Amino acid sequence: MPEAYTFDMVQRVAKASSPRRKPGIGCKVVMAELPPGLLQGLPREDQNAIRGILGKPVLLEEYDEDGRAVLAFKDSKGIFHSIFVSPSYIRAHG
């Protein structure tokens, strides 16, 4: 006769199959690739600034009400930017 599932067994399975933890607010994160459509319709300067942070650590400012990560950074000209991306496109730095 198969063993009955217990609450403890269900919790262990849920933890083992849960997605990786999201980086914490205030941490440095890296965006390894551009989300599709992120640059569409943006001025060239903004597109260049966003491309410039790929693979580099930037500040995870917060998660918005839709769960998107808000990344804050300064471009090579000293202009501050914030972008909103799905957490699946970022990873903790280090």
64-85: average pLDDT:
96
Instruction: Give the pair of three-digit tokens for residue 34.
Output: 């551009």
pLDDT band of residue 90 (cuts 50, 70, 90) is very high
- Answer yes or no: is pLDDT of 14 > 50: no
Q: Which residue has better confidence, 8 or 34?
A: 34
pLDDT of residue 65: 96
- Answer yes or no: is pLDDT of 64 > 50: yes
Q: Which residue has better confidence, 16 or 36?
A: 36
DSSP 34-65: PPTTTTTT--HHHHHHHHHTTTSEEEEEEE-T
Amino acid at 47: Q
pLDDT single digits (tens) 52-63: 999 999 999 999
Verdict on whether the full-model pTM lies above 0.95: no
